[in-house]
Structure 1
């Protein structure tokens, strides 16, 4: 499966793992993990970007807890229609891009956002577009958060340059990466990590201050 096929899967997705699916379930423990880290490291006025925001359940959770300078990117054409129906206050207050991550972040200035985060989105990034990870680091002024499935211990500590791949329901691929290694090699400092049953939550800062 190439990067175009992966993008098309998510751009056209309906049913399970679609914007409607995530809006139905609403904010969850991953939303709380992101909020806890933001409250720990930045002020409520911080500018925040979510990579792969879907219909906005995590951003809506932040908005409800006082974070209002919010931006999201999602490739699915239905995401923002569902957001307007489910989280109208967020839809009105935020700035949103209906595009791929790699189609947007290269246009942002250096240090554009105080916070950039991803919840189970970077794990779908095809190796062909890994170059965008450097841009993600570049546009982050303070805090970067990854909430991603990194695979098993063997995968996480693999020295291979290529990510390990698994498939959900024999359908779409998950590319398991060691996000500590990825972003520390790009100059960020890991300041927090929590390993869960499925996802690993990591927080990186651009400096030690």
Structure 2
């Protein structure tokens, strides 16, 4: 499966794991943890970008707790219709971009955002477009957070990207995100491994 086929899986996704699916579930413990990290390191006027924002449940939680300069990118155009219906305050206050992450982030200047984060999004980036990780690092001014599935075992720094296929043959690429971002100028300041995902918080070195 090439990178275009992977993107098509998410561009038109409906039902399980769609924007409406996540809007129905709403903010969760991950939303709260993200807020706690940003409150720890940033002021309320910090510019924050979510990669793969979907209908905006995590951003909505941040908005409800005083963060106002919020942005998001998502490949699925339905995300923004669902957001307008479910989180109208966020939809009107935030800035949102419809497109693939690699197509959007190149247009941002260096250090454009005080914080950038992803929740179960970077794990779907095809190896052919791994260059986008450098772009993500470039646009991040201070705090970077990944909440991604890294697989069952520790991944060696030199190990090739491992792939697993989940629902509907959607590929999930296992990476150790500390290994990815420490070579791009970030230092890990927090890490917590959950039942499925590993949360890693980084700050620019």
Same fold (TM over 0.5): yes
Tell me the alpha carbon deviations over residues 113-168 of structure 1, each in whole angstroms, 9 at most, x when there is no partner. 000000000000000110000000000000000000001124x23632x3111111
Distance in 2, matches of 1:75 and 1:170, equals: 18
Pair 1:152-2:130 in alignment = no
Query: 1:59, CA displacement in angstroms?
Result: 0.2
- Pick from 182, 192, 197 the counterpart of residue 199 of structure 1: 197
Distance in 2, matches of 1:124 and 1:169, equals: 13
How does 1:30-49 map onto structure 2 within 5 Å? 30-49=30-49
Q: Could you say which residue in structure 2 is the equivalent of 1:168?
A: 166
Q: Could you say which residue in structure 2 is the equivalent of 1:84?
A: 84
Pair 1:64-2:55 in alignment = no
**Any stretches of 5+ residues in structure 2 without a counterpart?**
none
Q: Could you say which residue in structure 1 is the equivalent of 2:122?
A: 122
Tell me the alpha carbon deviations over residues 14-72 of structure 1, each in whole angstroms, 9 at most, x when there is no partner. 00000000000001111111111001111111000000000000000000011010000
Q: Secondary structure at the match of 2:14?
A: coil
Q: Could you say which residue in structure 1 is the equivalent of 2:133?
A: 133
Contact kept? 2:23, 2:82, Cα under 8 Å: yes
Q: Could you say which residue in structure 2 is the equivalent of 1:6?
A: 6
TM-score for the superposition, normalised by structure 2: 0.98
Distance in 1, matches of 2:157 and 2:51, equals: 25
Distance in 2, matches of 1:169 and 1:79, equals: 20
**Any stretches of 5+ residues in structure 1 without a counterpart?**
none
Distance in 2, matches of 1:19 and 1:32, equals: 19
Query: 1:170, CA displacement in angstroms?
Result: 4.8
Across the aligned residues of Structure 1 and Structure 2, the Cα RMSD in angstroms comes to 0.9
